Amino acid sequence: AVFNGVIVLMLVTAIAGPIATKQFASQLAVAPSSAVAENNNPLYLDKNDNDKDGSADATTHSHPFTIVVPIFNPRADQHLIETAVLLAHHEAGQIVPLAIARSYAHMDDPILVDDLKRRKILAQGASDTSQTLSVKSIPVVRIADDEATGINYTAREQNANLVMMGWNEDTTGLRARLFGTTLENVFWASHCPVAAMRLYDEPSNIQRILVPVRDLMPKTIHTVRFAQLFADAHHAKVTLVHVCDRRTPKSQMAQFKADLEAIISQGVGQNGEQTVDRIKTIAHDSVSQTILRIANTFDLVILRSMRRRTAGGLMVSDVTTKLLRELTCSVVLFGEPHL
């Protein structure tokens, strides 16, 4: 009888849990102070990297803001490199153009030697781009068994604050489903935030940025902070949109908007200007369809990745999956490590 009772309880929990979460999770209020308490700018080094005296400020000033940019195709990655240079210039930091050569059993293999020469040219070409804004560049050529391992190791060794990589892989094929993609593996193992970018236009043409905001949890707010940084570096404006259930009371929608306004007011641009110019709260049954409709008038959409450290690698919500598949504008998928 006890065993049967346990089975019934597990069954009820499995069925009722997701339903209750979907119904009531969005109603859980998060104080604005707690939402930003973790880290006002999550792109800076974490506490584990502080100096021995425990001073976070000392680390911030002694280590420049560093962006690792993997280079695979100089033409396809040109917009990515330009964006990284703009962000590094904005933060008075540096970029690390990274070119990876696949390893061979023998380090004197002629194929490897030739590949290393080509990779050096790729890394140096990206480094030359940074000179347009006088941004320091540290080109790196690395031998690795696979691209993801090389990217994550280099990011850790360089104490990077951000990994920015292009996004042009097939994520639906058999190989991707069995072994994962380079992007998924970087998201899975990276120690720092990762921004995967699918850019269809030059960075200078990005003027309007849309950021869906599901809740006020710190991970979501960090995505908003990244959007503010991105917008300030590109002289763009950010619109935040929160789509809730049709049955959500208007008072709750108003409170959510007020809490979000209080949070973003703490993040302003270098000139003291607010990069978020609008917050929209919409009641609709379909989150994805609402965002797709709104996104038609924007140059870029920044989405948060829902990462889990499982064998499956990168996991995103059903809404995010649909948006990634159907959005026709430029997209950034932003994710942070689970510390």
Q: Which helix (H) or strand (E) holds 116?
A: helix 110-130
Interior/surface letters 257-268, b for 16+ CB within 10 angstroms, e for the rest: beebeebbeebe
- Of the listed ranges 201-205, 297-301, 327-331, 334-338, the least confidently predicted one is 334-338
Note the pLDDT of residue 319. 80
Partners of 195 in the β-ladder: 164, 334
Residues 6+ apart with CB under 8 A from 1: none
For residue range 74-85, what is the model confidence (pLDDT) as tens digits?
777 899 999 999
Q: Which of 87, 96, 166, 161 has the alpha carbon at shortest distance from 332?
A: 166
Say what percent of the chain tops pLDDT 90.
Answer: 52
Alpha-carbon span 263 to 156, nearest angstrom: 30
Cβ atoms of 163 and 66 within 8 Å: the answer is no
For residue range 164-215, what is the model confidence (pLDDT) as tens digits?
998 865 554 544 444 457 888 898 889 999 999 999 989 989 999 999 999 9
DSSP string covering 66-89: EEEEE-S-TTTTHHHHHHHHHHHH
Cβ atoms of 187 and 335 within 8 Å: the answer is yes
Token output for 256? 């959510």
Q: Which helix (H) or strand (E) holds 132?
A: none
Alpha-carbon span 103 to 119, nearest angstrom: 13
3-state DSSP assignment of residue 141 = strand
3-state DSSP assignment of residue 274 = coil
Average pLDDT, the chain: 82
Note the pLDDT of residue 29. 53
Q: Report, as an integer, the average pLDDT of 320-327.
A: 86
Note the pLDDT of residue 11. 80
pLDDT band at residue 28 under the 50/70/90 scheme? low
For residue range 95-149, what is the model confidence (pLDDT) as tens digits?
999 999 999 999 999 999 999 999 999 999 989 988 888 999 999 999 999 999 9
Note the pLDDT of residue 185. 86
- Domains of the chain in sequence order: 35-42+201-332 (3.40.50.620), 65-198 (3.40.50.620)
Alpha-carbon span 151 to 190, nearest angstrom: 8
